[in-house]
């Protein structure tokens, strides 16, 4: 099997957004990341595990070339100091522990500086996905079904059956393969859409290759590690710490805030006038999207901010029909955008993998997220989750608004 990851640009843009902020503010933080396959019927064979090891080893042999660094330097919020750091940076295979001691037959954990381990998540998941689908099935049949479904979906946008406004492709971590994702982005770029606008992709390598816009800002790890990695912080204020450092790093640039790391209701306690003004919008990643969107509009209005000037970015388990319904509901009330992943990058005749790689510790201490629905968190210590929930509950019940 050829090498799956061929460039260090082949990751989601928000890894560079967060990476720069980590480099300038938290270069000595350490993190542990843990892999989990949520599919109960999936088994990785020993041969698959060995191929995954080989692929990750090959990934760790990559370096940025000057053309790639020049591309990053051309993104308006990326600073020269971070580009210089990336010129020297490459992954360390020694940070990985890969084994078979998990119900699915594959265990992966990474340990090291946050600067390093943050960068491993997306390429690792892309490798695991592609190895699995190439070795568990007749890959050519899967790819054929992928292309057939892709053409059907795009026809729904070109015909105007679905109108979803601005959207981007977010599927790198769970794509069928590198060639499948490239085909999807290329076809979406070239399609003549009616009532929809294809903006770009989270995959920086593909954005450069196909001359589309790279898209992405922050992930849950930023809020979890900034807010909970300092043992002196009350974790119920994780969002405040995370937003504060983000604004110090970027000012008004690169500003889409993620709301559900420790529930959206708790997030809104900190997302008051200053931050609501400075950030261009917010991202939805769990819970009912209609309830969430209405809650955000009401919040902006309560602060005297016109919600039509702000972006509601939806990114939770979307397909074109769901995006169409959301767009129809919110269009005219706010700027609406979508990040659509697995539905674009891995829709075949077999179910996709539901795999994640999450931060489970920062600076030797447990970290966790408590999103707007159950089942999206991942923490090895239930006692810490209970502690975090009690901190949130106390703040919500006792703090004056």
Residue 234 shares a structural domain with residue 319? yes
Q: What residues make up the domain containing 212?
A: 139-345
In a domain, 302, yes or no: yes
Task: Give the contacts of 232 (CB within 8 A, at least 6 positions apart).
Answer: none
Query: Given this model, what pLDDT does residue 167 score?
Result: 97
Task: Give the contacts of 162 (CB within 8 A, at least 6 positions apart).
Answer: 156, 195, 196, 320, 321, 323, 324
In a domain, 144, yes or no: yes
Residues 186-217, buried b or exposed e (16+ Cβ, 10 A)?
A: ebbeeeebebbebbbbbbbbbbbbbebebbbb
Report the number of distinct structural domains present in the chain. 2
Q: What ranges in 159-272 are assigned the alpha helix state H? A: 178-190, 204-210, 220-228, 238-250, 264-270
Cα dihedral sign, 120-19-62-186? positive
| Spatial CA neighbour of 282 closest among 311, 253, 244 | 311
Q: pTM for the full model?
A: 0.96
Query: Given this model, what pLDDT does residue 144 score?
Result: 98
Beta bridge partners of 168: 200, 339
Residue 362 shares a structural domain with residue 290? no
For 354-382, the pLDDT digits (tens) are 999 999 999 999 999 998 887 666 788 99
Residue 174 shares a structural domain with residue 190? yes
Residue 292 shares a structural domain with residue 158? yes
In a domain, 8, yes or no: no
Task: Check whether 254 has a pLDDT greater than 90.
Answer: no
Residue 260 shares a structural domain with residue 125? no
Distance CA 305, CA 282 (A): 14
For 285-333, the pLDDT digits (tens) are 999 999 999 999 999 999 999 999 999 999 999 999 999 999 999 999 9
Centre a 10 Å sphere on the Cβ of residue 44 and count the other Cβ atoms it contains: 21
In a domain, 297, yes or no: yes
Specify burial of residue 360 (Cβ count, 10 A radius: 0-12, 13-18, 19+).
buried
Residue 106 shares a structural domain with residue 90? yes
Which CATH number goes with the domain that contains 268? Answer: 3.20.140.10
Provide, rounded to the nearest whole percent, the portion of the chain with pLDDT above 70. 99
Task: Check whether 243 has a pLDDT greater than 90.
Answer: yes
In a domain, 5, yes or no: no
Residue 191 shares a structural domain with residue 273? yes
In a domain, 211, yes or no: yes
Give me the torsion for CA of 161, 164, 167, 173, rounded to 10°. -70
Residue 171 shares a structural domain with residue 102? no
Q: What is the mean pLDDT of residues 231-238?
A: 94
In a domain, 63, yes or no: yes
In a domain, 388, yes or no: no
Residue 111 shares a structural domain with residue 209? no
Residue 291 shares a structural domain with residue 161? yes
Distance CA 295, CA 316 (A): 17
Residue 120 shares a structural domain with residue 258? no
Residue 117 shares a structural domain with residue 208? no
Task: Give the contacts of 222 (CB within 8 A, at least 6 positions apart).
Answer: 18, 21, 242, 246, 258
Q: What is the mean pLDDT of residues 224-245?
A: 96
């Amino acid at each position: 099997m050829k090498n799956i990851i061929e460039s260090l640009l082949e990751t989601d843009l928000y890894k560079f957004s967060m990476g720069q902020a980590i480099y300038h503010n938290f270069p000595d933080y350490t993190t542990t990341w843990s892999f989990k396959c949520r599919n109960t019927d999936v088994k990785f064979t020993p041969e698959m595990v060995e191929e995954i090891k080989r692929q990750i080893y090959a990934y760790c042999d990559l370096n940025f070339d000057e053309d790639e660094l020049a591309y990053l330097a051309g993104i308006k919020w990326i600073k020269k100091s971070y580009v210089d750091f990336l010129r020297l940076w490459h992954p360390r295979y020694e940070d990985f522990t890969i084994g078979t001691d998990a119900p699915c037959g594959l265990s992966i954990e990474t340990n090291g500086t946050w600067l390093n381990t943050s960068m491993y998540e997306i390429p690792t998941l892309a490798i695991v996905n592609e190895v699995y689908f190439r070795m568990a099935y007749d890959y050519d049949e899967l790819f054929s079904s992928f292309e057939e479904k892709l053409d059907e979906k795009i026809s729904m946008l070109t015909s105007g059956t679905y109108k979803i406004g601005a959207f981007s492709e977010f599927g790198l971590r769970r794509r069928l393969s590198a060639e499948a994702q490239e085909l999807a982005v290329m076809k979406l770029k070239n399609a003549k859409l009616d009532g929809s606008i294809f903006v770009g992709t989270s995959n920086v390598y593909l954005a450069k290759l196909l001359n589309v816009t790279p898209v992405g800002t922050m992930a849950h790890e930023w809020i979890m590690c900034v807010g909970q990695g300092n043992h002196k912080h009350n974790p119920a204020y994780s969002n405040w710490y995370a937003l504060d450092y983000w604004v110090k790093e970027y000012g008004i640039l690169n500003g889409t805030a993620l709301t559900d790391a420790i529930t959206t209701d708790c997030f809104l306690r900190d997302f008051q006038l200053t931050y609501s003004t400075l950030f261009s919008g917010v991202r939805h990643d769990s819970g009912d999207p209609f309830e969430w969107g209405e809650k955000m509009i009401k919040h902006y209005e309560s602060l005297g901010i016109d919600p039509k000037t702000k972006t509601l970015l939806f990114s939770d388990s979307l397909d074109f029909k769901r995006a169409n319904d959301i767009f129809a509901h919110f269009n005219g009330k706010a700027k609406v955008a979508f990040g659509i992943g697995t539905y674009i990058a891995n829709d075949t005749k077999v179910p996709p993998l539901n795999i994640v790689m999450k931060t489970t510790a920062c600076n030797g201490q447990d970290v966790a997220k408590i999103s707007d629905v159950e089942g999206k968190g991942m923490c090895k210590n239930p006692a810490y989750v209970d502690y975090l929930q009690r901190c949130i509950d106390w703040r919500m019940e006792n703090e004056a608004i």
